[in-house]
């Protein structure tokens, strides 16, 4: 992660961080003002991996932005973009323990949450949309 630029973030009162200038990584540009809630880690596990750990925030900002784009109307998801977001997250993480632990957690979460939503949405769509 040595050659990856760190995004400039401002802490907000509601446990989020706001991007204070546009941030670019490869061909991805995240606009100034974008807000992230950090890593969605259950509070019970914050002592292992804090949600706002500075060394993880670059990967978190990029991942949150891409997953926000991947979630479409009516709860459906662009699976290709979700997988890309997860891959970029993994590639930009610095700490090996955090990288592996958090990557497994987000892949599992995305499979459980969005995989089931997409299956249900597609089933309903087939039943009622001709």
Q: Is the residue at 98 inside a domain?
A: yes
Contact (CB, 8 A) for 51 and 91: no
The residue segments making up the domain with residue 35 are 9-128
Q: Is the residue at 4 inside a domain?
A: no
Q: Is the residue at 111 inside a domain?
A: yes
Contact (CB, 8 A) for 16 and 39: no
Could you report the per-residue pLDDT of 22-80, keeping only the tens digit for each?
A: 999 888 899 999 999 887 776 677 677 776 777 888 888 999 999 888 886 556 677 78
Q: Is the residue at 120 inside a domain?
A: yes
Q: Quote the percentage of the chain above a pLDDT of 70.
A: 78
Q: Is the residue at 60 inside a domain?
A: yes
Q: Is the residue at 1 inside a domain?
A: no
- HSE toward the beta carbon, residue 104, CA cutoff 13 A: 5
Count structural domains, the chain: 1
pTM, 2 dp: 0.76
- Chain Cα centroid distance, residue 6: 16
Q: How far apart are CA 30 and CA 35, in angstroms?
A: 10
């Amino acid at each position: 992660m040595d050659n990856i630029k760190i995004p400039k973030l401002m802490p907000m009162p509601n446990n989020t961080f706001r991007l204070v200038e546009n941030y670019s990584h490869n061909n991805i540009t995240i606009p100034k003002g974008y807000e992230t809630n950090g890593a969605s880690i259950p509070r019970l596990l914050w002592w292992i991996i804090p949600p706002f750990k500075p060394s993880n925030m670059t990967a978190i900002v990029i991942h949150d932005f891409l997953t926000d784009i991947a979630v479409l109307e009516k709860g459906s998801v662009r699976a290709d973009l979700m997988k890309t977001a997860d891959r970029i997250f993994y590639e930009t993480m610095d700490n090996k323990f955090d990288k592996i632990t958090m990557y497994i957690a987000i892949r599992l979460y995305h499979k459980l949450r969005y995989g089931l939503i997409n299956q249900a949405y597609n089933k309903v769509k087939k039943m009622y949309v001709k």
